[in-house]
């Protein structure tokens, strides 16, 4: 193999090595990304999440250390090729639905940018490794060495120059990647939480379709309610607006395969739940404005309770793309946007959104001098949960 091809292949193998190490550095984020693949069964996610980075590291290191270099090169080439084909199948056969609406088109274009990056990177890696492998099979014009010399050649590892080249490349790549590695992990976690929010929003819409346009509600306006997950034998006492936090428990049997402890309910952004595995709770809050009539969230029309406490109808939403449905509360925390939240909107899209005081009902669920009733969320503490004019209003 020529010196030029050796250096190019070394760089390609180092990239594969760094990709494997990056996955190992934050396995929960990689596993969460794999769970969004419809081609991968749930039981296979832990095996694949550990297996892929392990194979990337072993294969690339074997090549870099000169251990069965030809076989290691073929193995890495096959591994990257298989992953690329699987990625293409997932994106084109199980990707965004073919729909003419702008929201789905915008979502598809954002995924297409990721697709172009992944494909471009993998194609370059495959080209470099494949080119080097083909050169390794070429017939040498030099005389055939003796058996003794052949044994020494087969056992030869790096020369001093090759070692220095590899060390220099590794140092350069680490120096370039280190400052941005934390930012990349954070962006990956944000992508996972936005994906979770979009998935939950679509389930809420499906619920309204199943229940004659009525949005989820499992608590009574007066007294203590019991929110249950029958299949798991779980029951929780709740006041009316506690549905905002206990929706995952109420909907688990009908829409989440009876699994109220699914990691889809937890945000990878929250350092207190990250990597905790299965636990009962959710990071995503159901907007309280869907649990009352629009008149309840207007100071001029709010009347004596509990008449205005009811589940809203999906058809009552006037601005679907601007009305929050679920939000991850992070305001004031060191892992979230100040004064805002990552939120899913009624039309199904999710984004980082800010809290606007002029669009928010000032007394939240009822905490003011005149109306005090199950007011567990003040308006200014949990962004995007209390919209002025309720579901008829907008949050942005």
Residue with tokens 């074997």: 62
Look at residue 58 in the predicted model and tell me its pLDDT. 87
Domain ranges across the chain: 3-137+144-157, 196-392
Look at residue 148 in the predicted model and tell me its pLDDT. 46
Helix (H) or strand (E) holding 227: strand 225-229
pLDDT in tens, 240-298: 899 999 999 999 999 999 999 988 998 888 777 765 556 788 989 999 999 999 999 98
Chain-centroid distance, C-alpha 131:
35
Chain-centroid distance, C-alpha 103:
19
Q: Which two tokens stand for residue 127?
A: 């080209």
Task: Between 122 and 106, name the one with better pLDDT.
Answer: 122
pLDDT in tens, 343-363: 999 999 999 888 888 898 877
Mean pLDDT along residues 152-174: 56
Do 309 and 381 touch, CB atoms closer than 8 A? no
Mean pLDDT along residues 152-173: 56
Predicted TM-score of the model (pTM): 0.59
pLDDT tier, 66 (very low <50, low <70, confident <90, very high otherwise) = confident
Closest CA to 48 of 74, 30, 61, 36: 30
Look at residue 327 in the predicted model and tell me its pLDDT. 92
Task: Between 277 and 307, name the one with better pLDDT.
Answer: 307
Look at residue 99 in the predicted model and tell me its pLDDT. 38
Percentage of residues of the chain with pLDDT beyond 90: 28
336/338 Cα distance (integer angstroms): 6
261/265 Cα distance (integer angstroms): 7
Look at residue 15 in the predicted model and tell me its pLDDT. 85
- Count other Cβ atoms within 10 Å, centred on residue 116: 10
Do 24 and 181 touch, CB atoms closer than 8 A? no
283/327 Cα distance (integer angstroms): 8
36/93 Cα distance (integer angstroms): 14
Q: Is pLDDT of 105 > 80?
A: no
Look at residue 205 in the predicted model and tell me its pLDDT. 96
pLDDT tier, 106 (very low <50, low <70, confident <90, very high otherwise) = very low
Task: Between 168 and 310, name the one with better pLDDT.
Answer: 310
Mean pLDDT along residues 227-233: 94
pLDDT in tens, 109-153: 344 444 555 656 666 766 767 766 665 544 343 444 444 444 444
Adjacent-strand bridge partners of 360: 387
Look at residue 28 in the predicted model and tell me its pLDDT. 74
pLDDT tier, 158 (very low <50, low <70, confident <90, very high otherwise) = low
pLDDT in tens, 34-65: 777 777 777 788 888 888 888 888 888 888 88
């Amino acid at each position: 193999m020529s010196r030029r091809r050796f250096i190019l292949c070394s760089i390609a193998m180092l990239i594969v090595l760094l990709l494997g190490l990056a996955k190992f550095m934050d396995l929960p984020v990689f596993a969460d990304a794999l769970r969004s693949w419809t081609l991968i069964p749930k039981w296979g996610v832990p095996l694949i999440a550990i297996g892929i980075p392990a194979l990337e590291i072993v294969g690339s290191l074997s090549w870099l250390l000169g251990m069965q270099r030809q076989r290691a090169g073929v193995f890495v080439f096959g591994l990257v090729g298989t992953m690329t084909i699987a990625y293409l199948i997932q994106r084109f056969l199980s990707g965004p639905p073919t729909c003419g609406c702008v929201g789905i088109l915008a979502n598809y274009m954002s995924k297409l940018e990721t697709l172009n990056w992944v494909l471009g990177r993998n194609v370059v890696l495959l080209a470099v490794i494949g080119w080097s492998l083909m050169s390794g099979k070429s017939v040498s014009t030099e005389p055939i060495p003796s058996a003794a010399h052949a044994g020494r050649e087969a056992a030869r590892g790096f020369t001093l120059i090759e070692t220095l080249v590899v060390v220099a490349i590794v140092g350069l790549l680490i120096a370039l990647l280190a400052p941005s590695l934390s930012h990349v992990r954070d962006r990956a976690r944000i992508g996972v939480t936005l994906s979770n929010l979009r998935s939950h929003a679509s389930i809420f819409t499906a619920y309204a379709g199943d229940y004659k346009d009525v949005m989820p509600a499992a608590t009574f306006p007066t007294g203590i309610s019991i929110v249950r997950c029958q299949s798991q034998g779980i029951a929780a006492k709740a006041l009316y607006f506690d549905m905002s936090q206990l929706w995952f428990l109420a909907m688990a049997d009908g829409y989440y395969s009876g699994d109220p402890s699914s990691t889809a309910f937890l945000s990878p952004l929250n350092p207190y739940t990250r990597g905790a595995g299965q636990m009962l709770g959710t990071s995503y809050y159901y907007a309280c404005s869907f649990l009352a009539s629009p008149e309840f969230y207007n100071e001029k029309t709010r009347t004596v309770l509990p008449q205005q406490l009811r589940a809203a109808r999906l058809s009552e939403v006037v601005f679907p793309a601007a009305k929050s449905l679920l939000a991850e509360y992070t305001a004031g925390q060191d892992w979230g946007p100040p004064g805002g939240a990552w939120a899913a909107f009624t039309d199904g899209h999710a984004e980082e959104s800010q809290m606007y005081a002029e669009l928010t009902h000032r007394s939240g669920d009822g905490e003011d001098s005149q109306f005090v009733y199950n007011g567990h969320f003040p308006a200014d503490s949990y962004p995007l949960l209390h919209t002025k004019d309720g579901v008829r209003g907008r949050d942005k």
